[in-house]
Chain A
């Protein structure tokens, strides 16, 4: 167990350094985006009938929430804010803390993407084992090709097709946010049903689009393991099929955990298309909104959240690896 604790401490220290470095890099990238949002906001106000002089003043007030001072002093402010978890206020929604705004949006990204990822991982990994074992038969071919094709269909295409079928043509699933506003919110049947109904299309899309990837990855990994000597040895010794299967699955799934962990970390960033098409108000839409309005604090916060998620996911993956793989647990690891 001490190995795990020692590893964890090392990971945490490195993770903090990583967060600091990435947050700094993204800070300077964000500050260097060209384009003056005030000009665009002014155009929008004037086009909606506002007086030019009034629009000028209004824009000045709204963008008064943009951080001020030289880039370096802003950077120091940002770092000071990081230490106290104060990421400033948004321009899009003045007076609202960036953290409040982000957590509201993050909620609606995490739930469907997490559900979708785990479902597709379970199904995909199982199918991948079959695809590898039966790779010379019909079933293997079908699993292989269908997996590849599903993997081949980009998320946004899948989303568009599902929206066209279930929302526009059949009109059985909604495209309008997270829950029916007319249903009284709370821990009651109709509201949970409404939540589930609205989340169905995003989750389904995510499952279908990533299931193929898991199948392919698992199949390929199993094929590699199948070539290993210990499997041959086990087969020669006439071990039970189920035990051989466990051997194979356990050894083949290891490399997949790094991918799973990474994709769990990326779940905060990866749903832009799904959210855009299904009108699902998560982090991806928030980030696009922040970029098009040059909301520096909000962008910085979103990048930070994604970074932290990835770092945490990586640590989690490594610890998981330690728990599962006896060779690494023994302390022989290289990293």
Chain B
């Protein structure tokens, strides 16, 4: 998001921007925590798998083992370390979530902005397309698609989820654009002879940034849930260290909802999801203020 804004800014504004960012971050330490969490997840996704052998060692005499120092989240039904699986499994989840988020937000915001800004025939065509996209039911469609695609790679997964998910962002952004139009400052800017790039980049995007940022949050978390959920339902190909497969095996194989011994196996991927969400939430909270200058002053 920030890059779009930065491209249209001069160097001094850029300095001010980063100073503003720092001030916003400093005001609430929780925001720093959010950044740290996200950095940790990024590190985990990029480098985490390197710390473990390709095939994790198993121990058949210690299945669904308790939490110990050697196994901080116990072991799974094969006697493999659960924590290691969360780490090695993060790459798929994070990469596909990132791909989804980028596609959703870029496609959704671009179509929404363009449609709301141009209005007229383009708006009609794009919104019909969006409506159709929104009308095709997502989860049922995914259920059907799983029989056709294998979703072996994270990018493929992210691509499909992203292409399925931009509709609501586009609609929301268009509604916001129209609403801003109604307030007349676009006409005013036009009247002043400002270029379209300027109006979109300097006037429209900043005032919509929190909205888009929130949608980005929803897109990332939504992508994580959608794919983890599909794996959890057991309709996607099996990969032992995928978070969703872990949930599935813990609940349907280990009986984690009925007995405590498989509970750590269930909790580990759940905690990872919650932590990731918390990180995103805190960072978006900060973004909210950075992009809405009026809020900063309060």
Contact = CB atoms under 8 A, between A and B. Distances in A.
Interface of A: 14, 18, 21-22, 25-26, 29-30, 32-35, 135-136, 141, 144-145, 148-149, 151-157, 160, 163-164, 168, 213, 216-217, 220-221, 223-224, 226-229, 254-255, 258-259, 262, 266, 268-270, 272-273, 276, 287-288, 291, 299, 302-303, 306-307, 310-311, 314, 327, 332-335
A284 to B, nearest CB: 8
Nearest to A257: B175
Interface stretch (B5-13, B45-53, B102-110, B135-143): B135-143
B292 A227 contact: yes
Interface string B136-155: 11111101100110000000
Nearest to B119: A334
B295 interface: yes
Given A153-B274, A224-B211, A273-B233, A21 B132 contact: yes
Interface residues of B, number: 66
A30 B10 CA distance: 53
A327 B184 CA distance: 12
Interface in B93-132: 116, 119-120, 123-124, 127-128, 131-132
Interface stretch (B16-24, B79-87, B277-285): B277-285
A153 B222 CA distance: 10
B123 A335 contact: yes
A7 to B, nearest CB: 14
A168 B263 CA distance: 14
A160 B251 contact: yes
A33 B274 CA distance: 35
Contacts of B120: 334
Contacts of B225: 154-155
Interface string B160-193: 0000000010011001101101110000000000
A217 B214 contact: yes
Given A227-B207, A306-B140, A148 B147 contact: no
Contacts of A270: 139
A29 B179 CA distance: 37
Contacts of A168: 257-258
Contacts, number: 165
A200 B56 CA distance: 42
Interface string B209-220: 011001001100
27 contacts: A21-B132, A26-B136, A30-B144, A35-B147, A135-B295, A145-B281, A148-B284, A152-B273, A152-B280, A154-B228, A154-B229, A155-B229, A157-B270, A160-B266, A213-B218, A220-B210, A220-B211, A224-B208, A226-B294, A226-B295, A269-B140, A276-B233, A287-B140, A291-B144, A299-B144, A314-B135, A334-B178
B241 interface: no
Contacts of A223: 210, 288, 292, 295
Nearest to A333: B178
Contacts of A272: 139, 143, 233
B134 interface: yes
Contacts of B210: 220, 223-224
Given A32-B148, A227-B294, A291-B144, A156 B134 contact: no
B298 interface: yes
A154 B273 contact: yes
A259 B168 contact: yes
* Most chain B C-beta atoms within 10 Å of own C-beta, residue among A30, A33, A154: A154
A149 B137 contact: no
B221 interface: yes
B216 to A, nearest CB: 12
